[in-house]
Structure 1
Amino acid sequence: MAWTKYQLFLAGLMLTTGSLNTLSAKWADMFSAPGCSGTPNHAFSHPFVQAVGMFLGELSCLVVFHILLCHDRRKPEPTMVPGQSFNPLLFLPPALCDMLGTSIMYVALNMTSASSFQMLRGAVIIFTGLLSVAFLGRRLQPSQWIGILFTILGLVVVGLADFMSGHGNDSHKLSEVITGDLLIIMAQIIVAVQMVLEEKFVYKHNVHPLKAVGTEGFFGFFILSLLLIPMFYIHVGSFADNPRQVLEDALDAFCQIGHKPLILLALLGNTVSIAFFNFAGISVTKEISATTRMVLDSLRTVVIWVVSLALGWEVFHGLQILGFIILLLGTALYNGLHTPLMAKLPCCPGGQRAEEEEAPERERLLGGGKAANES
């Protein structure tokens, strides 16, 4: 069945904004500018300020939700289902996980390449699978266990590629690259906890996805904005890459933006892209399928890698291709993307269940939460 123009637009929007989200964050990290009180040029290293911007993008989804709801109610026959009422504090635990995981990943992105950052985020499959077995009582299929093993192998290959390329990398020391990679993997444990919490407490309440994303963005934006105040006074020594060597110097970030406005453009790119990426992802699931959404989410890793190479942000390494292919295979096996192909083979009648399983998966993803909406 051929896609409509609207479906093609949604797929392109998801792929483009998903790629821009990581690329714009990395672009901001690559700037250097003078800070406050005449401090000399230094790198823009403000991961927590960037995380606040990302949560602002998520918060905007709540505004979009209410605009769409008001517009729909003006129709003679409203079609939009707002979902049942719920206690907003239900989203606080996953929002705290989102806040911590996102902040760690932005710290890590400043230490490693954009393509490795995106590839290593595939580790979330491992921890989500294990936690869902332990806390949700889920039984994983054999293909999902094989997918987890392939993911582990892919992570080892990508890590090895970073280790080998780190020796000749002028922008990042080898120790920074390894630390960044480990931080990304550690953050995926927190993201997996977030997904399990969302599935256990949020999905069953049938919350509209835009409202779910926006509510978590609300908590993340205001809590992290308030935390910027104590972070301004917490000295962490050489761990921090800012002149005052504090956990986060928001004033220094604003001074650097004032000296180099292009940094603001990069930050706005991150904020706007995450909002459109969430909208496009939800719409792709609704208009096409959850499987298509997973495939597009994997393809944005290729886009990020190709653009990074074209811009000279990183050097080509063949092991990264091998690592990506293994990770892609692991993702496909874990998410059951191989079953639609098997369904077309006369020798695999069991694959006919794929289409029947697609509808519940679509409903689960559309039912609320943002497990599949991460940046």
Structure 2
Amino acid sequence: MAWTKYQLMLAAMMLTTGSINTLSAKWADNFSAPGCHDSPSHTFSHPFLQAVGMFLGELSCLVVFYIMLCHDRRSPEPKINQGQSFNPLLFLPPALCDMTATSIMYVALNMTSASSFQMLRGAVIIFTGLLSVAFLGRRLVASQWIGILITILGLVVVGLADFVSGKRDDTHKLSDVITGDLLIIMAQIIAAVQMVLEEKFVYKHDVHPLRAVGTEGFFGFVILSILLIPMFYIPVGGFSNNPRQVLEDALDAFCQIGHQPMIVLALLGNTVSIAFFNFAGISVTKEISATTRMVLDSLRTVVIWAVSLAVGWEQFHGLQVLGFIILLLGAALYNGLHRPLLAKLPCWTQGEEDSGEREGLLSAGRGSVNEAS
């Protein structure tokens, strides 16, 4: 079936804004500028402030939801289903997970390449699958277990590629690259917990996706903004790149922005793109399919990788190609993208396998609604 112009626009928006989200965050990290009190020029290393900007983008989805709701109520036949009434505090636990995972990932992005950052986020499949079995009572079918094993293999290959490139490149120290990769994997465990919490406590209330994203964005923005105050006084030694070597120096960030206004453009790109990416992702799932959303999400990894190579942020490594292909295969199997091909075989019978993969697709479509970066 041919796509309509609106569906093509949504797919292009999701691919473009999803790519811009990671690339703009990495672009901000690559800037160097003096800080406060005429401190020497140093890189813009402010992951927690960047995370606040990302949650501001998610919060804007709540504004969009209420604008759409007001417009819908004025129409003769309202179409928006608000779902059941719910306690907004239900979103607090998943929002705390989102806040923690996002902050860790922005720290990791300072240490490793944008392409590896995007590829390693595929690890969320492993932990989401295992946690859904343990806490949601879900039964994974054979293809999903195979997908998880293949994803693990892909992560090993990407990690090996980073290990080899870390010895050759001057952009990142080998120790930083390894630490960054491990932090990304750790963040995916927390992101998987977030998805399980949403599945168990939030989605049974049939909350509108934009409202869900916006509510979590509200909690993340408020809590992390408040936490910037104690972070200003917590020393972390050599772990931090800011002159005062504290967990987060927001004042230093604003001083750097004053010396290098282009940083604002990178931060705005991150904030605005996450809002449009969430809207486009939700709309693609609704208007086309969750399968298409998974494919587009994989394609943005290719775009991020291509742009990073083109602007000289990283060098080409064949192992990364192999790792990406393996990760893509693992994600395809886990999300049931092979099912339409198998359905054409005369010996194929739709049964438990078909049901399990459809469940996996739905889970993937819901779980990636508030994906960060």
- The two structures have a TM-score, normalised by structure 1, of 0.96
Name the aligned partner's letter for residue 237 of structure 1: G
Change (3 A) 1:342 1:321: same
Q: Does 1:210 align with 2:207?
A: no
Counterpart position of 1:374: 371
Q: Does 1:87 align with 2:84?
A: no
Name the aligned partner's letter for residue 374 of structure 1: E
Q: Does 1:303 align with 2:317?
A: no
Q: Contact 1:203 / 1:364 at 8 angstroms: preserved in 2?
A: no
Q: Which moved more, 1:107-116 or 1:342-351?
A: 342-351
Deviations 1:183-215 (A, max 9, x none): 000110000000000000001010000000000
Change (3 A) 1:159 1:220: same
Q: Contact 2:342 / 2:348 at 8 angstroms: preserved in 1?
A: yes
Q: Does 1:72 align with 2:72?
A: yes
CA distance in 1, matches of 2:134, 2:191: 16
The offset of 1:298, in angstroms, is 1.1
Q: Does 1:133 align with 2:133?
A: yes
Q: Contact 1:17 / 1:276 at 8 angstroms: preserved in 2?
A: yes
Query: Matches of residues 1-375 of structure 1 in structure 2 within 5 Å?
Result: 1-350=1-350, 371-375=368-372
Change (3 A) 1:138 1:363: closer
CA distance in 1, matches of 2:250, 2:243: 12
The offset of 1:370, in angstroms, is 5.0
The offset of 1:168, in angstroms, is 1.4
Runs of 4+ in structure 1 deviating by more than 6 angstroms, as ranges, are 360-366
Query: Between the two proteins, what is the percent identity of the paired residues?
Result: 81
SS in 2 for 1:140: coil
Change (3 A) 1:104 1:135: same
Pairs aligned (count): 372
Q: Contact 1:281 / 1:373 at 8 angstroms: preserved in 2?
A: no
Change (3 A) 1:16 1:101: same
Q: Contact 2:147 / 2:331 at 8 angstroms: preserved in 1?
A: yes
Q: Contact 2:336 / 2:357 at 8 angstroms: preserved in 1?
A: no
The offset of 1:85, in angstroms, is 1.4
Change (3 A) 1:57 1:227: same
Change (3 A) 1:351 1:324: farther
Change (3 A) 1:56 1:35: same
CA distance in 1, matches of 2:90, 2:149: 33
Q: RMSD of the alignment, in Å?
A: 1.8
Change (3 A) 1:273 1:296: same
Name the aligned partner's letter for residue 150 of structure 1: I
SS in 1 for 2:280: helix
CA distance in 2, matches of 1:139, 1:250: 45
The offset of 1:355, in angstroms, is 9.6
Deviations 1:212-245 (A, max 9, x none): 0000000000000000000000011111110000
Runs of 5+ unmatched residues, structure 1: none
Name the aligned partner's letter for residue 315 of structure 1: Q
The offset of 1:349, in angstroms, is 3.6
CA distance in 1, matches of 2:331, 2:364: 17
Runs of 5+ unmatched residues, structure 2: none
CA distance in 2, matches of 1:238, 1:361: 42
Deviations 1:315-354 (A, max 9, x none): 0000000000000000011111110221233332438985
